[in-house]
Amino acid sequence: MKAIMLISTWVVLVSSNGFGFGLVNNSTVSVTAEDSLCIPFFNLDSLGRSIGGLDTTKVMAFYPNGDSAFCEAVAGVIGRVKVSVDNGDTVYRWTAQVSEIDGTGGAGLYAVKITAKSDQTGGWLTTSRTSSFQLINQNFNDILQMTIDSLKAVLDSVQNFHNWVGNVRYTNPDSTLSIKRFAASGANGSNGSFYIYNSNGTAGIFNAAGGTGENAFHGLSISGSNAGAGIRSIGGIQGHGAVFGGGASSGNGIQTYAYNGDGIRSFAITSGNGISADGAGTGFVDIAAPEFADTIANRVLEDSLHYQGSFSGGGSGPISVQVLAYDSSLEQIIPGVNVAIRNIEQTALIALNGTGTDGKAAFNLAADSFLAVAFAPGYIFESYDTLIVEAANVDTIWGWRFDPGNPSAPELCRVYGFLYDISGNPENGAVVTAWLPSGVGRKDNSIISPFKTTALSDSAGYFYLDLIPNEKMIPANSKYEITITRTDGTILRQRVVVPESPSWLLTW
C-alpha cells in the first residue's frame, strides 16, 4: 500500500535584538486578534535586573521605507502600557490595534522601538528594545484555510490517481480499471492517443445508461479536427467499414460499406427517416420530411433545413413589412437589433435581418401570421411578438435596457444571462455552475480554489455569477467551464473566457 504524506511548514523570519513578531492584519471594520499587537519589554536597573517604578515609556514605529509611522510617550502604567508581576519578575507590555499605529497603511515589514525610562537610583536609566512585525492585507487564518482547501483538492486528485493506478495489475489478465473520466492529451503523431487491441473479441465497448427521449445519452461522441472526419472507419476485405445499430425493433440506423468490387457504397439508413443512400458507385442524399425532437439544437437544424428566405435579406414574399425596435424605458429607437421571423408553429425560419440607424428591419413576407424574435446585447425583449401580415405595415417590438449591477468586488466581472425554454418562457430554477476545470489557479499572491460556484435562475430566467476575469489569473490561458442544468434534467456545457469588464452577457 502506498502512503501519501503532506508536510506543510510555515516559516516567519523576524529581526530583533529583543522580541520578534509575525504576521498581523490591519482591519478597521471587523477587528480580530490578528489586527492587534502586544509587545513585552523590560525596565532594567544598572545591573540588568528587571525592576518596577517605570516612569516613562516612549514608543516609535517606522514604515518599511524607514519613515516614521507612529510615536507616543506614556507616563507611568496607563493606556497602552500594562504591567504584570509573577514571582517577583516584573514584565511590561505595550498593546495597540494596528490601525492606531498605521491607519490604513500598506503591507510590509514594520520596525518598532520601545524605550523604558526610570529614576530608581537617583539617575535616569533607559532600557531600549526593538522589534518588528509583518503587515499583510488579508486575515492570515483565511489565507491558511484557503491553502488547506486547495491542498485537500490536490490530495484528492493525487489519491484518486493513486487508487486507479493501484487497481491495474499488468500481470493479471482479468484486471479492471474503474475511473470516472479518462483524458489523454499530447502530440503522439500517427500512433494515436488511445489504442485498444483485443486478439480474442471486440476491441472496445461503449455503453451509456440513463436518460430517455431527447435526453438519452450517447454511447460514444466523436468529433474530428478541421478537415478530419469524426470517424474514420476501415473494414476488412469484405467487411463493413462501420455498422451502427438502431435497436432490436428498428434495424440498422446507419450502415457504411467498404469497397466490395463493384463500386463504393457511400452509406445507408435502412430504417431511419430523412436520409438514405444505397447503391454501387456514387451515393446520394434524399431529404424526406424529417421529424425532430423539440429541442433548441434541433430548432437550429430545422431552421437550416426549412429556411424559406435569404440569410442576407428579409424574405421573399410579396408584402413589404417593417419591424421597429423601440426602447420602452428611454422612449427611443434601438439600432443593431437582430430580428428573426419564424412561422407560428416554430418549425421554419422565414427570414433574418437587423435594424438600421432608424431602428427598422425590412422584410418581404407572405400574408400569414409569424413570430418575431429579437436579440441585442444589453437589452431584454418580450419572448415572442406575434406579427400578423395582411398588408404593408410597421410592427413595433418593445425592449428595454438591462443593468446587471456592479459585481460584489471591483476586481470581479458580473457574468449574467437569461434562460428561456424552446417556447420562449423563462426557465425558473435552473442551476448555473462555474468552475476551473484546470485545477487550482492564482491571482497575484492569492490561491483561487477550483471548487464550483453556483447560482439559480429566477422567475424571469435571470442569473448572475461574480467571477475573476481570466486575464488576471495565472495561468493566463485558463477557462471557466459553465454548466447549466435545466429543471427537466437537460445539461448544457461550454468553456468560456471571462473578460476584464464590470459585466458580461453570457450567450450560448
- 360: CATH: 2.60.40.10
pLDDT of residue 282: 41
Q: Are residues 417 and 373 in the same domain?
A: no
pLDDT of residue 173: 55
pLDDT of residue 284: 41
Higher confidence at residue 465 or residue 260?
465
Q: Which residues have C-beta within 8 Å of that of residue 40, sequence separation ≥ 6?
A: 19, 91, 92, 93
In a domain, 89, yes or no: yes
Q: Are residues 421 and 467 in the same domain?
A: yes
Q: Are residues 455 and 472 in the same domain?
A: yes
Average model confidence (pLDDT) for the chain? Answer: 74
What's the pLDDT tens digit per position in 37-81? 888 888 887 787 888 788 899 999 898 888 888 899 898 888 889
Site of grid cell 499530447: 186
Q: Which residues have C-beta within 8 Å of that of residue 102, sequence separation ≥ 6?
A: 26, 61, 63, 69, 70, 110, 135
Whether residue 292 has pLDDT greater than 80? no
Q: Are residues 382 and 423 in the same domain?
A: no
In a domain, 176, yes or no: no
Among the ranges 137-141, 175-179, 187-191, 405-409, which has the highest mean pLDDT value? 405-409
User: Which range of residues forms the domain containing residue 484?
Assistant: 413-505
Query: Exposure pattern of 266-295 as b/e (b: 16+ CB <10 Å)?
Result: bbbbeebeeebbeeeeebeeeeeeeeeeee
Among the ranges 33-47, 289-303, 440-454, which has the highest mean pLDDT value? 33-47
Q: Are residues 136 and 45 in the same domain?
A: yes
CATH at residue 457: 2.60.130.10
What's the pLDDT tens digit per position in 455-502? 999 988 899 999 988 888 877 778 899 999 998 888 899 999 999 999
In a domain, 30, yes or no: yes
User: Coil, helix or strand for 276?
Assistant: coil
Q: Are residues 381 and 440 in the same domain?
A: no
Whether residue 102 has pLDDT greater than 80? no
Is the Cβ–Cβ distance between 40 and 19 less than 8 Å?
yes
- How many Cα neighbours within 13 Å face the side chain of 487? 13
Q: What is the DSSP string of 477-495?
A: T--EEEEEE-TTS-EEEEE
Q: Read off φ and ψ for residue 295, nearest 5 degrees.
A: -125, 165
pLDDT of residue 81: 92
Q: Are residues 439 and 491 in the same domain?
A: yes
Higher confidence at residue 217 or residue 63?
63
Candidate from 10-24, 137-151, 223-237 with smallest mean pLDDT: 10-24
Residue 299's pLDDT band (cuts 50, 70, 90): very low
Q: What residue type is assigned to position 434 of the chain?
A: A
The last residue of one of the domains, among 401, 427, 455, is 401
* Grid coordinates of 242: 462501420
Share of the chain above pLDDT 70, in %: 63
Q: Which residues pair with 465 in a beta bridge?
A: 415
Site of grid cell 518596577: 52
pLDDT of residue 152: 79
Q: Which of 339, 374, 334 has its CA nearest to residue 357?
A: 334
What's the pLDDT tens digit per position in 331-360? 999 999 989 898 888 888 899 999 999 999
In a domain, 156, yes or no: no
In a domain, 397, yes or no: yes
In a domain, 108, yes or no: yes
What's the pLDDT tens digit per position in 355-365? 999 999 999 99
How many domains are there within the chain? 4
The last residue of one of the domains, among 371, 401, 431, is 401
The last residue of one of the domains, among 352, 381, 401, is 401
What Rg, from alpha-carbon coordinates, does the chain have?
A: 36
Candidate from 291-295, 336-340, 426-430 with smallest mean pLDDT: 291-295
Residue 175's pLDDT band (cuts 50, 70, 90): low
Q: Are residues 304 and 393 in the same domain?
A: yes
Sequence-ordered alpha helix ranges (H) in 107-253: 140-167
Q: Are residues 34 and 130 in the same domain?
A: yes
- How many Cα neighbours within 13 Å face the side chain of 275? 11
Q: Are residues 350 and 380 in the same domain?
A: yes
Q: What residue type is assigned to position 403 of the chain?
A: D
Whether residue 250 has pLDDT greater than 80? no
Q: Are residues 301 and 283 in the same domain?
A: no
pLDDT of residue 161: 61
CATH at residue 44: 2.60.40.1930
pLDDT of residue 298: 42
Candidate from 21-25, 97-101, 196-200 with smallest mean pLDDT: 21-25
pLDDT of residue 100: 79
Higher confidence at residue 310 or residue 421?
421
Q: Which residues have C-beta within 8 Å of that of residue 107, sequence separation ≥ 6?
A: 134, 135, 136, 137
Phi-psi region of 289 (alpha: psi -120 to 50; beta: other; left: phi over 0): left
pLDDT of residue 468: 87
In a domain, 385, yes or no: yes
In a domain, 304, yes or no: yes
Residue 401's pLDDT band (cuts 50, 70, 90): confident
Q: Are residues 381 and 286 in the same domain?
A: no
